[in-house]
Each structure stands twice: as C-alpha cells, then as structure tokens.
Structure 1
C-alpha cells in the first residue's frame, strides 16, 4: 500500500518516477580543485596548442610541396633502378635460360630415366619380387613353426611360474607395503596440516591484517583523492585544449585576414591593375610582331626548303633518265638492236568482220 500511495498516476496513466540522480556526486574537494586547475592548465595549454596548430600547418605545407613530390620522384627512381632491371632480366634472361635448361634436362635426364625405368628396372623388379615372394612364403612357414614352439616353451617356462609368483608372493607383500604407506602418509599429512595452519595464522596476523588495514584506511582514501585530482586535471586538459583550439583558430583567422588585406589584396590589385595592362601592351606591341615575323621567316624557310627538295628531286630524276639512256645506248652499241617478236594471231575477227547491232549480216553468213 505504501508503494501504491507514493506513486501518482500521470495524465497518460503512467506512474511518475523521480529524476535519476548522479552516483558520483561532486563534493567540496572536487569544487575546490576544478577552477584553479582549469585556470592554470588553460594558461599553460593555449601557447602549446597555438604552436601545435602552427606546426600542423607547416607540416601539411611541407608534405604537399616537398615530401610528396620527392616521394613520388624517389618511387619512380627506385622503380627504374631496382624493379625494372630485375624484371627485364627475369623476363628476357632467366626465363629463356630456365626453359632451355628444363628442355635439356628433360632430354638428357627424364627421357633416359623413364626408358631405363620402363624397360630395365621394371622387369628386374618384377623378377625379384616373384623370387622374394617364394622365399618369403618358405620363411613364413618355418617362422610359424618356430613361433608355435617358442610360445609353448615361454608359456610353461615363464608365464606359469610368473603367475604363481605374483599370486602367492608379490600380492601379499604389496598389500603389506601399501598398508604401511597409508599409515606413514596419514602421519605426514597430520604434521603438514599442523605446520600449515600455524604458518597461515602467523602470516595472517603479521602481514595480511596490517596490509588490509593499510589498504582500507590509508591507501584507499589517498587513492580516491588522487583519482579525483587526476580526473579533474584530465578534464581541465581536455577543456583547455578545446578552448585553445578556438583561440588558435581565431588567431589564425585574424592573421589570415591581415595577410590577405596587407599582402594578397595589394598584390592582386597590382597584378590586375598594373601588370596585366603592361603584359597586354608588351604582348600586342612586341611579342605578337616578333611571333608574326618568326612565323613569316618559318614559312619562307619551309618554302625555300620545299623548292630545294623539288629541285633536287628533278635533278635526280634527270640524272636517272640520263643514266638509263646512256645504258641503253651502250647496250645497243655492244649487242645491237633487240629482236622484236612477231605479232601473234589471236584468231579474232576484225572490226569490219565483227557483228554489228544495226545490220542483219554477220561474219558467219557473209561471203
């Protein structure tokens, strides 16, 4: 009834519960330590954070402008020096040599070994196997007889006397020794138990109980206080690091804005208002005429070279024609005119005797 009376129903019909309370309630020690520690840590951490952010920016710039290009160049150089030559040697030297050695080994070793195994060793091995099977059968028969005889002798000369000795001599002696051992073990156990109990209480009284008291009443409170101080120091470091980050970001933005308005914007204005018009004027008055003159000189040079090439080709053609005519004249002087072959009758009607589309007279009906 007490529990039912204390719980009041909410408008939705659900019981109202108390707000959860923190299990680690802050005491006066925490409140007294937190604010001074945070102030000291903030004063110490802000310069460190600003230096850290500056080093991070410098490191990124160094990485992007120096280390990464140098690393790529070194990687390419290493590939060209250490990777490409071994690959080429492997591909064009080691692999062909290995294939040649493998083919030579196959021809000189594998093929003769297979032939020797198939036509020499296999017949010899089969013959030896047949011989040894016969010998083994004979030896097995002899061995079975010897085994049966030895087994009978061993049974009646060794096993039966050993069984009698075990049953009538060793068993009673073993029982007596076991009973004596049990008695001695009980005595030793009682002595060891007494000694162990005495040592246990001595160690407990002299070491364990003082150590427990020291742990409970000295080390535990000191440890809790140090834990509170350490936790507050860590929280203060985290808080100061975050605040220092905001401060460093604000300082960085201020410096960036200052550099932009003192260096970047004037440089941009100078580039846009001074250098660009000057560059356009230099381009229009100097560079373009020089480029046109250079292109004109280039065109004239190309035309002259084309004319020279054409003249050289014509001269070479004339020289070849002259040499060919001189060779023909020398051949005619030495061997005379070449004999021309007689025309061959191809047995075809002439144009007058061929059939025409506008006449009914053909070559077959003509007189």
Structure 2
C-alpha cells in the first residue's frame, strides 16, 4: 500500500470518527478564510513533506534490499555450507560414531556380561538360599505363630466368654437407658414444649394484632403524605426546569456551541489537506 492509499484510509477513518454536518450550518465568513489560509501556507509545506517522505522511503527500501541480498544471504550461505555442515559431519562421523562403538563394544557389553553371568548368580543364591529362607522360617516360627497363639488363646477367647456372660446384663442396661430417655422426652414434651408453644402462639397473635392496628395505619399515613406533598413538589420542580433551564441549554447547544464546533472542525480538516 502506497502513501496515497494510506492517506485516503486515514481520512476515511477520521470521517467515520467525527461525522460532518452539512456545510450550510457553518458560516461562510469562517469557512472561506480558513481554506485560503490552508491553500497559502499548508499546501507547500505538505508538498515538501510528501517529497521528503517518499525519498526516505525509497532510500530505506534500497538499503533493506542491499542488506538482505548482498549481506545476509551470502553470509548465511557461507555459514551453512562452509562451517556448519562440515562441522556437523565431522562431529557425527569422526567423533561421535567411534565413541559410540567404543562404548557399546568395549564398555557396555563386558560390564553387562560381568553383571549377568559372574556377579548376579552367586549374589542371588546368597540372598535367597542363605539369608531369605532361614530368615523367613525364623520370623514365621518364632514371631508370627507365638503372637497368633497369644492373641487367640489369651485375648480373643476370654473376651468372647466375657461377652457371652455379660450379654443379658448389657441388654437390661440398654433397655433401662432407653426407657429413661423415653420418659424424659415425654415429661419434657408435656411440661415444657406444649406450654412454650401455647405462649409463643399467644405472643404471635398479639404481635399480629399490634401490627395490623398500629404499624399498618402509620405506613398508610406516610404514603398518603408522600403522595400529596413530595410528589406534587417534585412535579413542580420538573415543570419549572423543563420551561426555564432546558430551553436555555438547547439554545446554547444548537445556536452557539454547534456552529463554533463545526467551524473549528472544518478549519482542522482544511489544515490537514482536505
């Protein structure tokens, strides 16, 4: 996109942002002198500015082309073909491949054979047959079986016999506790909850009667006073405002401020080159 297209797009954006009123609303004694001033002073300066900007743009494009095609592309080709690819080939085929072969054939395979065929079988036999199996027999016969015998014979069996012996007493105690709680609940309901409910119902009826015969008339009186005092006063203020302040504001906006703003906007557009 050249400078003319950019200038046209910018002017269209300005026109969309600030819509222009018809020219008949702007006084001619302001519009024509502004255009004459723009023609005498602004047009030569703008012409010189356009020449300078186009020359600078051409010089910048030439320098950019020279930098890309005469410096960057040759330098990139020399780096890739004379330095990077040879170094990469040397590192992969001369250094890395021999080192990898040496590691796989002279270090890894002998170490793997030493571990699997020489060290692991005797270590496994020692760990399983000489240590694991005797230790397992000792733990089972000297720890687990005695602890199980003690738990079953000395703890579980006496507790089971005691539970069977105390079962009738426990049932009687639980039944007594249940009967006690049931009696306490019946007494609480008869002596406390029902009288309290009756008192609360009486209080609720009294509060409802007081609300209906005192608060409701008070609220209605306040509403009547608001409707017959505040509302007429507000309507009067609104009528006075609409017949005094609003006409003055419309006159100042439509007959004074808007022509001045339109003339100022037209002068600025003329100075920009319209």
Tell me the TM-score normalised to structure 1 length: 0.32
Q: Could you say which structure has the greater relative contact order, defined with CA pairs below 8 angstroms and 6 or more residues apart?
A: 2
**Which of the two has higher C-alpha Rg?**
1
Tell me the TM-score normalised to structure 2 length: 0.41
